[in-house]
Structure 1
Amino acid sequence: MLDRAPTPDHAEEVLDSLTLGRRIRQLRSDAGLTLAELGERIGVATSHVSVLENGKREAKLGELQSIARALGVPLERLLSSEAPTGRAALEIALTRVQEGPLFAALGIPSLPVRKSLSDDAIRTILSLHAELERVHRERAATPEEARRANAELRGEMRARGNHYGELEQTAAGLLKAIKHEGGPLSQRLAAELAAHLGFSLHYVTDLPSSTRTITDLEHGRIYLPVQNAPGRDPRTNLLQALAGHVLQRPEPTSYAEFLRQRVETNYLAAALLVPEGDAVEFLQAAKAKRELAVEDLRDRFAVSYETAAHRFTNLATEHLAIPVHFLKVSAAGVLSKAYENDSVKFPTDALGAVEGQSVCRKWSARQVFDEPDRFSPFHQYTDKPTGTYWCTSRIESGSAGEFSISVGTPFAHVKWFRGRETQRRGSSTCPDPSCCQDAPPELAARWAGAARPQARINSSLLAAMPRETLPGVDRTEVFAFLERHAGV
């Protein structure tokens, strides 16, 4: 793959590393070169060429140019998105399904992709996998369809480095229109933005419980609660309502569309609260001093820690060349939000969804709950199956109780962050059940057949999606509310 973070403008240019590796192998074979001979020509070790051909490492653009010259082919041929042969296409497909969440959930060892493995055997495995996927889709309840939509959207966000350039430009234009001069967006300027867009603000006590705001397009009004939920920034409700109006998206026809619109609305609101230009300048200066810290971004723009952490993930890869991951985890260890483009492996179900999964007890997102000091940042290195990661975590409180917000990065990039000197260290082998999911053998033996706990099940996990287009919103209440206030 090219050594830059994918963005909306060049996301299509990103080449799959498996396809690239097979193409290098095929062209090397066609040229009659050994691994060692190609490595000598481009000035790298034989082992380096091997991991490139196996799709285990991303190649830099300069490296690809050297390989193309050594093989005597144009760079465009090397970067072709098509598999070089039918056999290579089968091997790539097999590798992908064996690395996927459904195969991992089966708990069976991966099959080595060797020359001795026949094409028919690979096709049989792929057919079996496809049938398993079909069965899962047929058996999946509607909430599981939502989980699949979440997983797909998270993949899209990863592909673009969680950076939406078009929304950043929209935010910049809106801020310019109200003459915002930099720094935090005050409540006064947020209200001026509403007026600029043609809305008056009305604070009410009878807003339906299923809503945060209601926009009356006919009368140009935005209804907001007199009192916000604990931990909720009053500017956020207003800005999300304005963002929804500015984006002018049609009513969603699927849950996937609903999720995408919600991500875009939240993103635009955050880009107004933490403007890209000011934030990037601030973060680049901090990086130059090796003092990056989420709490500094929070304090600089007067936003919540969660908003600052989200915004950091929007800007870190695009502008700082730092891959990151983000987690929001309840005190019970349940994952509700997650993002990564640094190869960390989140717990997932067979559909690839992370929502509702339990996070390893040894990760900083769980360890931080045991820390008595809630004022100071919590930092930890954790050895995980995909490498060593450094994380910074903090406890926040909301209407649903306490939760942790964590931002992490691979060890190679920790040099830019404050808190890298921490001595806290953990080691996790999750999703291996023996890491922290299985009870110690002596306890398991002691209580086998003698314990019967009653699970607390959130009813929303089992409820079917409503037939309305806005999940979770009672439209009857909303319309009745608007009727009550229309003549005021």
Structure 2
Amino acid sequence: MAPAAIELATLGHRIRHHRLAAGYTLDELGALTGVAGSQLSLIENGKREPKLSLLQEIARATGTEVADLLSAEPPNRRAALEIELERAQAGSVFRQLGIPPVKVTKGVSDETLESILGLHRELQRREREAIATPEEARRANTEQRLRMRERGNYLPEIERLAEKQLKAAGHVTGALTHRTVSIMAEQLGFELIYVNDLPHSARSVTDLENGRIYLPPASIPGGHGLRSMALQAMAHRLLGHERPNDYADFLQQRLEINYYAACCLMPETTSVAFLRQAKKDRNLAVEDFRDAFGVTHEAAGMRLTNLATEHLGIRLHFLRVDGSGAISRVYENDDLPLPVDVTGSVEGQVACRRFSARRAFSEQNRTTEHYQYTDTPAGTFWCSTQTGSTSEGDFSITVGVPFDDAKWFRGRETQERAESRCPEESCCRRPPADVAARWTGKAWPSARVHRHMFSPLPRGDFPGVDDTEVFAFLERHAGS
């Protein structure tokens, strides 16, 4: 039910409460206010919105105030139960069951309403848990990616918030220091504490009661990760996040806190000035952008997607691809042809073997960027790819643009060129006919079973987080 409808339901209950308290029937109150009793009945049942003049007449006749009639609080426990049931029965979770709603009459006891509402609450709880299935997660992620595509991956409200917080902490230019991040936390009433026993299911834990943000040890390699995690934890407070209602809400919160952290590590004003000068010099490069702010190559590439379209007028794409060719992170608004599944999701799909994102793995020198032009059914794209490794294996980070915008980037002179016809099967997904003829029916590979196939579905308010482990952690540290 829409919020306006809920307000009308509450208003109707409050009018009925004051009418009965004054001892009037519908027809008697109607005679006093100049409307038919049937019209008052529609108002009391939340089916019609009364004019202010009528509310004033009802208030006068029942000896109350208009402000009291308009209060958002149900007038009594019974009304609260009826309103909650009406809301639950109007919701999509109940409607999907295809069963008729319960009609509430005077004969339905409060205990019966409590029991029915208990069933609705459990139904909604189970729905919230089920929403985190892989298919629903992919759908929610796809919807979020398309929304951000429409906005050019740019969120001006968060950009302004980050610059305000940085200014308050005294940050002017250069790489954001751990000390400045600590000051930003202190200004929000938090202390940053580095511990060795964080719950394995959480990247950080915020103790709201004691004003602490727990992070991994400061000695782990790479300061960018720690600064980013601290900034993300702060962002939840600054952005007024509540416990996520569903997986889509959880993903939106993740996007917003990541965006805020990126804005702090690479502030809009200085970043745009840097990029505009590089474009003027026809020397745009992710590695220069990365080094200027002391962040990772991936962070710089993603930050470029936030700013390039809005401030430089350049459409582009970003890909993170693992060693097996699977796309783990993606953004595009330049119409690069990408593989999609039936839900419209790109994440998890295998990138074309001809793409720079995969060809870069075969390069002998993998310490520098690999440049390439790729001819596709949607046109020619120039790409810059950097490879790296983690404990989970190799990965590549690619940022690319349509051919006409390559002129602004370093590496545009490359002679590397490839042709991709994907998603056409003959491009790279089907073996050559002579090889297929030679080996079809004569090979039996033993497939590797991916562990995630047997992973339990995320549960709880924060998908994938073990609440028992988190609460035990907070108990251990509460007295320290």
TM-score of the aligned structures, taking structure 1 as reference length: 0.69
Pairwise CA distance, 1:291: 0.6
1:34-69 per-position Cα deviation (integer Å, ceiling 9, x unaligned): xxxxxxxxxxxxxxxxxxxxxxxxxxxxxxxxxxxx
The yes-or-no answer on 1:472 pairing with 2:446 is no
Q: State the match for 1:435 in structure 2.
A: 427
Contact 2:375 2:381 in 1 (8 A): yes
Paired residue secondary structure (2:271): helix
Find the aligned partners of 1:454 and 1:274 in 2 and give their Cα distance: 46
Report the identity percentage. 53
Q: State the match for 1:188 in structure 2.
A: 179
The yes-or-no answer on 1:154 pairing with 2:145 is yes
Q: State the match for 1:235 in structure 2.
A: 227
Paired residue secondary structure (2:447): coil
1:331-371 per-position Cα deviation (integer Å, ceiling 9, x unaligned): 11110000000011211111111111110011000011011
Pairwise CA distance, 1:271: 0.3
Q: State the match for 2:205 in structure 1.
A: 214
Find the aligned partners of 2:157 and 2:318 in 1 and give their Cα distance: 22
1:87-137 per-position Cα deviation (integer Å, ceiling 9, x unaligned): xxxxxxxxxxxxxxxxxxxxxxxxxxxxxxxxxxxxxxxxxxxxxxxxxxx
Q: Which amino acid aligns with 1:179?
A: G
Contact 1:335 1:358 in 2 (8 A): yes
Pairwise CA distance, 1:396: 2.1
Find the aligned partners of 2:435 and 2:298 in 1 and give their Cα distance: 38
Aligned counterparts, 1:400-411, within 5 A: 400-411=392-403
Q: State the match for 2:280 in structure 1.
A: 288
Q: State the match for 2:248 in structure 1.
A: 256
Q: State the match for 2:36 in structure 1.
A: none
1:420-442 per-position Cα deviation (integer Å, ceiling 9, x unaligned): 00000000000001000011222
Higher alpha-carbon deviation: 275-284 or 196-205: 196-205
1:138-172 per-position Cα deviation (integer Å, ceiling 9, x unaligned): xx992111111111111001000000000001101
Pairwise CA distance, 1:464: 5.3
Q: State the match for 1:487 in structure 2.
A: 479
Pairwise CA distance, 1:180: 0.8
The yes-or-no answer on 1:425 pairing with 2:417 is yes
Contact 1:230 1:399 in 2 (8 A): no
Find the aligned partners of 1:383 and 1:374 in 2 and give their Cα distance: 23
Q: State the match for 1:446 in structure 2.
A: 438
Find the aligned partners of 1:141 and 1:299 in 2 and give their Cα distance: 37
Find the aligned partners of 1:485 and 1:231 in 2 and give their Cα distance: 24
Find the aligned partners of 1:193 and 1:485 in 2 and give their Cα distance: 23
Q: State the match for 1:143 in structure 2.
A: 134
Q: Which amino acid aligns with 1:390?
A: W
Higher alpha-carbon deviation: 303-312 or 175-184: 175-184
Find the aligned partners of 2:446 and 2:360 in 1 and give their Cα distance: 27
Contact 1:143 1:463 in 2 (8 A): no
Pairwise CA distance, 1:254: 1.2
Find the aligned partners of 2:279 and 2:222 in 1 and give their Cα distance: 33
Q: State the match for 1:353 in structure 2.
A: 345
Contact 1:342 1:409 in 2 (8 A): yes
Q: Which amino acid aligns with 2:208?
A: L
- Rg: which structure is higher? 2
Find the aligned partners of 2:398 and 2:223 in 1 and give their Cα distance: 17
Pairwise CA distance, 1:449: 2.1
Find the aligned partners of 1:236 and 1:392 in 2 and give their Cα distance: 25
Q: Which amino acid aligns with 1:451?
A: A
Find the aligned partners of 2:132 and 2:164 in 1 and give their Cα distance: 42
Mind listing any 5+ residue stretches in structure 2 that lack a counterpart? 1-130
Find the aligned partners of 1:231 and 1:378 in 2 and give their Cα distance: 26
The yes-or-no answer on 1:385 pairing with 2:377 is yes
2:160 to 164, 169, 176: 169
Q: Which amino acid aligns with 2:326?
A: V
1:312-338 per-position Cα deviation (integer Å, ceiling 9, x unaligned): 000000000000000000011110000
1:446-479 per-position Cα deviation (integer Å, ceiling 9, x unaligned): 2222222232233334645323121121111111
C-alpha distance 285-473 of structure 1, shift in aligned 2 (>3 A): same
Find the aligned partners of 1:453 and 1:232 in 2 and give their Cα distance: 41
Higher alpha-carbon deviation: 415-424 or 200-209: 200-209
Find the aligned partners of 1:462 and 1:250 in 2 and give their Cα distance: 30
2:368 to 361, 366, 376: 376
Find the aligned partners of 2:223 and 2:178 in 1 and give their Cα distance: 16
C-alpha distance 273-378 of structure 1, shift in aligned 2 (>3 A): same
Aligned counterparts, 1:63-212, within 5 A: 142-212=133-203
Query: Aligned-pair RMSD on alpha carbons?
Result: 1.8
Q: State the match for 2:62 in structure 1.
A: none
Find the aligned partners of 1:399 and 1:267 in 2 and give their Cα distance: 25
1:20-45 per-position Cα deviation (integer Å, ceiling 9, x unaligned): xxxxxxxxxxxxxxxxxxxxxxxxxx
Find the aligned partners of 2:282 and 2:366 in 1 and give their Cα distance: 24
Contact 1:380 1:390 in 2 (8 A): yes
C-alpha distance 157-336 of structure 1, shift in aligned 2 (>3 A): same
Contact 2:301 2:399 in 1 (8 A): yes
Contact 2:132 2:463 in 1 (8 A): no
The yes-or-no answer on 1:416 pairing with 2:371 is no
Task: List structure 1 segments (4+ residues) > 4 angstroms apart after TM superposition.
Answer: 229-232, 461-464
TM-score of the aligned structures, taking structure 2 as reference length: 0.71
Report 1 or 2 for greater relative contact order, CA contacts < 8 Å, sequence distance ≥ 6.
1
C-alpha distance 458-283 of structure 1, shift in aligned 2 (>3 A): same
Find the aligned partners of 1:283 and 1:159 in 2 and give their Cα distance: 22
Mind listing any 5+ residue stretches in structure 1 that lack a counterpart? 1-139
Aligned counterparts, 1:296-375, within 5 A: 296-375=288-367
Find the aligned partners of 2:251 and 2:221 in 1 and give their Cα distance: 22
Q: Which amino acid aligns with 2:390?
A: G
Pairwise CA distance, 1:230: 7.1
* Count of residues in Structure 1 that have an aligned counterpart in Structure 2: 350
Find the aligned partners of 2:460 and 2:162 in 1 and give their Cα distance: 30
